[in-house]
Structure 1
Amino acid sequence: MTVNRAALLDDFSIEVTARDGASLTEAAANLPAGTRVNITALGTEDPTARLALAASAHRDGLTPVLHLAARRVASEQELRSELGAIQDQGTSSHVVVVGGDPRKPVGPYDSALSVLRTDLLGEHGVREVGVSGYPEGHPDIDDATLARALTAKVALLEAQGLETTVITQFSFDVDAVLGWVERVRDLGVDSPLRIGVPGPTSVKRLLAFAKRCGVTTGAGVARKYGLSLGNLLVTAGPDAFVDSLGERLEPERHGDVRIHLFAFGGPTSTAAWARDYLAG
């Protein structure tokens, strides 16, 4: 039994930045009620703008999912303050905890796991926690360490009575994604998986994000995905990737797998793509 396109995009999520506030409100018309909207934690953005976007998404009938970047948190008090702020505005039910970009932590938390160990999430109304997955590996962390960290996070959150969702870095390679899904299931992780997929945007922009994130863009992978390396200005969507993934996923083997759309081309075009893809 394979997964059809409607099942794969059922309850899909979308990832935006604080700069996407106005366009997210416009995009909401094409997003199903309750859609998870992940709001990244970029060091260049004002945290108050992220809070405001979460509140706005909540008013629009969406489910905001704020990212907490462990290595950017200066103290336990700062962590409590950030969690308290999202709890006060009613947007703390879902969060994502990541290590964050700085190589050297500014405070006591050197990894996502160190934040999870504080037990502060459940105290502030968090019910579901997103953690990171890397189908093509991580440029700075070996695969064995990644596997140990993932299983530790899932076990810790289960012990705390919190749900876990694994959200992956985007990829253009269905083979790499399926291989990673099978390895994760072999580890005993049965949490829902959200596979990162870029929303429609220019090939030039996609390649720039791929380079930054260590995502493979070889000629064979690019051709299968539908990227035209000879025309960087053309817009590329994830149709071929999602078609192939949906055809090859086996629910009894791969478990609960959904799509997580990175809105590199903006929330409006990404939401419209999802609407049109589902419509066939």
Structure 2
Amino acid sequence: MALLSFRKRDVAPATPVNREVEAFLEGYSIEVMPRTAAKIADFRDLLPAGARVYIAHIDGTPIEEMVATARRLRTEGYAPMPHVPARLIADRAALENWIAMYQGEAGVDQALLLAGGLAEARGRFDNSMQLLETGLFDKAGFKRLHVAGHPEGNRDIDRSGGDANVMAALRWKQAFSERTDARMALVTQFCFEAAPIIAWADGLQAAGIDLPIHIGIAGPARLQTLIKFAVACGIGPSLKVLQKRAMDVSKLLLPYEPADVVAELAAHKAAHPDFGVEAVHFFPLGGIQSTAAWATENGGRAATPANQS
């Protein structure tokens, strides 16, 4: 088994690695924003070579900064996957220009398509399905197109609760995946408890939706920080894990680490190889350095091109 290789130092796990967790973390991805990336001297000091790095496109970030971040990541040996938020894009011509900039200036051939955080669309597009329907990503030869998944529902899509609209969208995306050459996957919001994730993934399979799932996991962070982000992002049932921890004075001041949820999911995957979760996507809410260090200490490494989805 290949060891993680870093440019300036080799990082060995401080404790014996759980082999189920190590296997589960293979091919993990992580997320950055351009302003965060600008503070990192060299990503090769943090991440395994070839790792997929999503670039979050926050309202107000110029496309030029997104492309520059993607170009830098590519230069340092990573696979940049920019967010393409539908509600920030004016029209088809603007989308085509974004794609051309990413390809021509940064060699990008993969993207995460999502609605975006705005309540109302700025232009023609409102959701990721409309972006896919343009055919521009297929025309440009994008190899991977990831879309959003919602293990705990999404009130923006199903305003009265339930999952009717979310499931309808997933069926549409499943059908689209069957007629495109691009490899597709579902990338989810972060969750804190394994049971809802397992139930959701099994439910998708029962419904005939077999898109690979890249499960969102929050990296190490202060408890107060995680609760703030969880409430803002509409995290559902698994929020009670944080609330319960907040009631324990002995743990209140200790940083949260995702050891329990990752270990439970890893054990389930080992026992059920057909389980739909195929990769972990880290949200570095407490900082990319601490999240990358945690992943490394627990055996995380980049996937090979053959098994990367």
TM-score normalised to structure 1 length:
0.91
| Residue 207 (structure 1) shift | 0.6
The aligned residue for residue 141 of structure 2 is: 125
2:279 aligns with one of 258, 261, 264: 258
2:192 aligns with one of 157, 164, 172: 172
Distance of 1:8 and 1:218 partners within structure 2 = 20
Residues 211-222 of structure 1: matches in 2 within 5 Å? 211-216=231-236, 221-222=241-242
Amino acid in the other structure paired with 1:37:
V
Distance of 2:209 and 2:281 partners within structure 1 = 19
Matched, 1:269 2:269: no
| Aligned partners of 1:116 and 1:157 also within 8 Å | no
The aligned residue for residue 204 of structure 2 is: 184
Matched, 1:47 2:47: no
| Aligned partners of 2:115 and 2:127 also within 8 Å | yes
Aligned CA distance change for structure 1 residues 247 and 199 (closer, same or farther; 3 Å): same
> What RMSD in Å do the two structures reach over aligned CA positions?
2.3
| Residue 201 (structure 1) shift | 1.2
The aligned residue for residue 3 of structure 2 is: none
Equivalences, count: 277
Matched, 1:162 2:190: no
| Residue 251 (structure 1) shift | 3.9
Aligned CA distance change for structure 1 residues 257 and 24 (closer, same or farther; 3 Å): farther
Q: Secondary structure at the match of 1:222?
A: helix
The aligned residue for residue 10 of structure 2 is: none
2:171 aligns with one of 140, 146, 151: 151
Distance of 1:184 and 1:69 partners within structure 2 = 24
| Residue 99 (structure 1) shift | 0.6
Aligned CA distance change for structure 1 residues 27 and 203 (closer, same or farther; 3 Å): farther
The aligned residue for residue 111 of structure 1 is: 127
Distance of 2:31 and 2:168 partners within structure 1 = 26
Aligned CA distance change for structure 1 residues 56 and 156 (closer, same or farther; 3 Å): same
Distance of 1:31 and 1:232 partners within structure 2 = 29
Cα deviation 1:167-213 (Å, max 9, x = unaligned) = 01001121111111111111222222111001111111111100101
Q: Secondary structure at the match of 1:132?
A: strand
Q: Secondary structure at the match of 2:279?
A: strand
Aligned CA distance change for structure 1 residues 169 and 218 (closer, same or farther; 3 Å): closer
Q: Secondary structure at the match of 2:118?
A: coil
The aligned residue for residue 112 of structure 2 is: 96
Which structure 1 segments of 5+ residues have no match? Answer: none
| Structure with higher helix content | 1
| Residue 254 (structure 1) shift | 1.1
| Residue 23 (structure 1) shift | 4.3
| Residue 30 (structure 1) shift | 3.3
The aligned residue for residue 62 of structure 1 is: 78
The aligned residue for residue 78 of structure 1 is: 94
| Aligned partners of 1:168 and 1:194 also within 8 Å | yes
Identity %: 30
Which structure 2 segments of 5+ residues have no match? Answer: 1-18, 301-309
| Aligned partners of 1:203 and 1:229 also within 8 Å | no
Q: Secondary structure at the match of 1:4?
A: helix
| Residue 236 (structure 1) shift | 1.1
| Aligned partners of 2:230 and 2:239 also within 8 Å | no
